Amino acid sequence: MTPSAASKPDTTTVEVTVIGAGNMGGPVAKAFLASGLPGDALTIVNSSQESSERAAKELGGRAGERDQAVSGADVVVLGVKPYQIVDLAGEIAEQLKDKAIVISLAAGITLEAIEKALPDGQAVVRAMPNTPISVGEGAVGLMRGSAVSDEQYELVHALFAEAGVVEDITEQQVHAFIGAAGSLSAFTFSLIEAMTDEAVRLGLKRDLADRLVQHTVRGAATMLMQTGQHAAVAKNGVSSPGGTTVEGLAVMERLGVRPGIASAMQASAERSRELTGD
């Protein structure tokens, strides 16, 4: 259930605690701040006080002690490793407010497993974000727990509103989502790295190669989003008969680039299923 503009919850009055503001928790914190969450309402709890203070300074929040930070929070984000999630949920269970929302960022740990570690009726949401949400150009898949009210779910949507695209998915769909969005940013980074390195090998200076490749990739995606054009149509539009582009595309097909990407996405989805036990 996505909130309408008229009913969008006020994110400026919410207290949020992020436990584990690392590679995934950090971008989530940035997305929340972009949605209107005040910096003094964002508490960071990492594995050490030094780490908490460093992350808080970088993100624009404040560092805190776990028990106190949890007991004062309306939303608690669990950004630790998947194998730590259930134990952490059990450890903070007594400190949580009755109406607090717990958001897990962990792959492979189901809503049911987290809910069992918490008091009956505690609201739990799973979020599968990718790192580009830190610049407002990512994707988030949200899975709603059994005790989450409409009002609570609208608040979660509002907190992620500036992350990019935010979609409601089921836990059965999460494996495909990880292949299509969660892990896909890493695959894209790898492709960009390869294209940049080749541009340097062909004779361009690295800073120029960086700019050309990154802007072209961003521009291609933006063009598709703004025009609604199918990727195949856009590809054909720059493929002149006997030209440079079709020659390069033919090599990509012969080397299996397309099935290679598909296989990488499938492997991520299958690993997600293994972690969940599906």
H/E run at residue 128? strand 123-129
Least Cα distance to 41 among 56, 25, 21 occurs for 56
Based on its alpha-carbon atoms, the radius of gyration of the chain, rounded to whole angstroms, reads: 21
Measure the CA–CA gap between 240 and 14, rounded to whole angstroms.
55
Q: Please indicate if the annotation marks 46 as binding a ligand.
A: no
Q: Please indicate if the annotation marks 24 as binding a ligand.
A: yes
Least Cα distance to 169 among 148, 149, 143 occurs for 143
The DSSP code for 146 is T
Measure the CA–CA gap between 31 and 133, rounded to whole angstroms.
6
For the chain, how are helix, strand and coil distributed in percent, rounded to 5? 55, 15, 30
Q: Please indicate if the annotation marks 19 as binding a ligand.
A: yes
Which pairs with CB-CB distance under 8 Å and at least 24 residues apart come from 56-61?
56/21, 58/26, 59/21, 59/26, 59/29, 59/30, 59/33, 60/33, 61/18, 61/29, 61/33
Least Cα distance to 70 among 92, 46, 53 occurs for 92
Q: How far is CA 131 from CA 14, 30, 116, 121, in A?
A: 23, 10, 29, 31
* CB of 190 closer than 8 Å to CB of 183: no
* CB of 66 closer than 8 Å to CB of 92: yes
Q: Please indicate if the annotation marks 31 as binding a ligand.
A: no
Measure the CA–CA gap between 57 and 71, rounded to whole angstroms.
22
Known binding residues for NADP(+) are: 19-24
Known binding residues are: 19-24
